Structure 1
């Protein structure tokens, strides 16, 4: 263990690039050269080998020129907790495999529900936002199907849902009529979840956005009315608190009003923006989230936790009921009915064996405090604001929109290049910089136009660090326009 700490310490001190700058075929050859069937080489040699193969060729999220995706540098206390939980190897599916770990995880869930305003709520840690969103939509599906099939008591159904009398048609017919409403900026996991849940190919209805990319609440209301007029069933509305590209937050208060009026499940995907609950300057941006039925929060994004650390939170704990399946060897139903029944987290999880990832968050909170973590998030959001202002002052850059969080969309647009050329430059610049190892930036497409994207999640990154990346973008773009091949353009960019 001490050797690993020494290796990592040296890497963090000396790593000069965000990426390895090595050709993929060379990396593949190095991987293929390892004989996994040979006799073991011993701990020390294996660690040296892994250091040379993996650490030397990793993408380093802590590096100031890594500004690509929603990957954060991690808090040191969380790394220590990661080592501890891996060594003990707790599984938090049943109490008899975890004891205090289950109680600690449940305490963190209660703590998060408290900040969300979910009195009487519950939740579960998951592998990430994709799983959290999938489970939320699974629970929403089961809720509406139970009502439609007459499996919900009338008084409970009236309080939880409403709308027309759906009768009790067969399940397949019902599934074909279910609709999920979300904008085109919602995470792709929403569409994936619809597919995995057996919904119709047209199940995800796109709700129009305003010019900023936020959901239009009036358009949402119109979409709900159209769905019911077509004898379809609104299963859930998915609002996003921090879209992946634009970094904007849908108007949660007004969306909640529409959903409450229509008695429709409101899921808020706050995988990116959930950390704002603890951010002193920006917590107000999540006003209305307490009115959601369910919420996704990724602590491994804006709480600076190692992957994975995500949670699904539900306002009404009883809505977890469809997840419960009893097995005699694990969580017997008879024991679950006892007054002093053991708390088994498997009753709320899509997973059985599950890591004690909550320990990382627990340790970080105790070491650093939630207020400090929230201030770190404010810091990266402030940096994004400063970078956007910097780009707006540059004649050869174009900026798109204003983020609520820490993303910046921009393009290199020299006056000598037309629109089509600027479009072509976006993926080329990204590829050149990544292959050179000098910087890792992302790209995306908004309304048919390609954009470069900065995602700023390192509170130690300064404006000068980002300026250096922008200089690389500019130099690389000019190199490509001058007709140099990609390798030469990378060299020119690296020298800039």
Structure 2
């Protein structure tokens, strides 16, 4: 048992102000006539985020979601709709977020094939063997950039090459790690992300936004076609033909809040460079804390070091005790640390 900090962050004041304005205006993002200004803001914001994730793609796009769980669900849904020749088989690591398994269940897909991880990251050799064993089926590889427990980033370039060799689609759950893209110094840690067909990206984690602020980026806007739906009271044919945007096909939800507003206001206030500096400061602080833990004689850092901004550590005395007694010591320390907003994980 180790200690970790919660992923959700305190929101920026400017984002909170925008959230308050959105609540006061109360637009419903299910039809253009209810949210014309919010619709334009969302369109511009998603276009910028899509280009950040897929800089070389000819026509990337992004959806605003309630968070990683919804983003992963929609990603698997879109992959299922693109699949041909049998049920989609999802392959992921033991480090994957639980929402990947829940999404497969909700969509009526076979249970994901789970491959081994090494030091918290997908083992490429194990992934290759799993895909070989599933040859002939439509395949989706789900990698993670910022695991929930350890903050580890899967070896994305190698995973992308393996997926391409097996003609498998690739989705990356970067709900935690995605905002590293704001920093020119840290963005190289996500090399290979651009090869994913879909990418989950949360800004209420390492983006300092009030919940909810989820994003699903897609490499090609045409992938979103399966979400299209016609309802005369929301997107009448004549309105669409006249050029009014269709908001109903931008989400699996109908009524939804203008969550893009707080993101847009934050981007305008801080810019990519300002957000990048915040991310760098957070990562640097975690590294400094990790070094302090490592230097403390009564504490032990999790092998493998820091994962993005996650620092896992435990009392060294617990290692000298039987497992049950050692966990009891860690639990006692946890209850002390909970008063200081530090949480725990079982590893």
Contact 1:241 1:286 in 2 (8 A): yes
User: Take 1:235 and 1:85, find their aligned partners in 2: how far apart are those partners?
Assistant: 40
User: Take 2:67 and 2:223, find their aligned partners in 1: how far apart are those partners?
Assistant: 20
For the structure 1 residues 329 and 379, does the alpha-carbon distance in structure 2 shift closer, same or farther, using more than 3 Å as the test? same
Match of 2:163 in 1: 259
For the structure 1 residues 300 and 416, does the alpha-carbon distance in structure 2 shift closer, same or farther, using more than 3 Å as the test? closer
User: Take 1:416 and 1:75, find their aligned partners in 2: how far apart are those partners?
Assistant: 39
User: Take 1:324 and 1:284, find their aligned partners in 2: how far apart are those partners?
Assistant: 35
Match of 1:71 in 2: 8
Match of 1:84 in 2: 21
Pick one of 278, 285, 291 that aligns with 1:389. 291
TM-score, reference length from structure 1: 0.66
Contact 2:51 2:61 in 1 (8 A): no
- Aligned-residue offset at 1:410: 1.0
1:255-295 per-position Cα deviation (integer Å, ceiling 9, x unaligned) = 11111222211111110011010113211011111111000
Pick one of 195, 216, 225 that aligns with 2:105. 195
Match of 1:139 in 2: 78
TM-score, reference length from structure 2: 0.93
Contact 2:141 2:170 in 1 (8 A): yes
- Aligned-residue offset at 1:423: 2.1
User: Take 1:234 and 1:427, find their aligned partners in 2: how far apart are those partners?
Assistant: 44
- Aligned-residue offset at 1:70: 0.8
SS of residue matched to 1:91: coil
Contact 1:238 1:269 in 2 (8 A): yes
Higher RCO (CA-CA < 8 Å; seq separation 6+): 2
- Aligned-residue offset at 1:379: 0.9
1:85-139 per-position Cα deviation (integer Å, ceiling 9, x unaligned) = 0000011222111112111111111111111223301121011111011100111
Question: How many residues are matched?
Answer: 341
Q: Say whether residues 1:443 and 2:347 are aligned partners.
A: no
Contact 2:290 2:306 in 1 (8 A): no
- Aligned-residue offset at 1:429: 2.4
Mapping for residues 266-281 of structure 1, pairs under 5 Å: 266-281=170-185
Mapping for residues 348-363 of structure 1, pairs under 5 Å: 348-363=250-265
Structure 2: state its 5+ residue gaps: none
Q: Say whether residues 1:185 and 2:95 are aligned partners.
A: yes
User: Take 1:366 and 1:76, find their aligned partners in 2: how far apart are those partners?
Assistant: 14
1:127-163 per-position Cα deviation (integer Å, ceiling 9, x unaligned) = 111101110011111111xx23xxxxxxxxxxxxxxx
Match of 2:321 in 1: 418
1:281-340 per-position Cα deviation (integer Å, ceiling 9, x unaligned) = 21101111111100011011111001111111111111111111111211235654x2x4
Match of 1:218 in 2: 125
Mapping for residues 37-56 of structure 1, pairs under 5 Å: none
Pick one of 402, 409, 423 that aligns with 2:305. 402
- Aligned-residue offset at 1:348: 2.5
Larger radius of gyration: 1
Match of 1:113 in 2: 50
Structure 1: state its 5+ residue gaps: 1-65, 149-173, 447-496
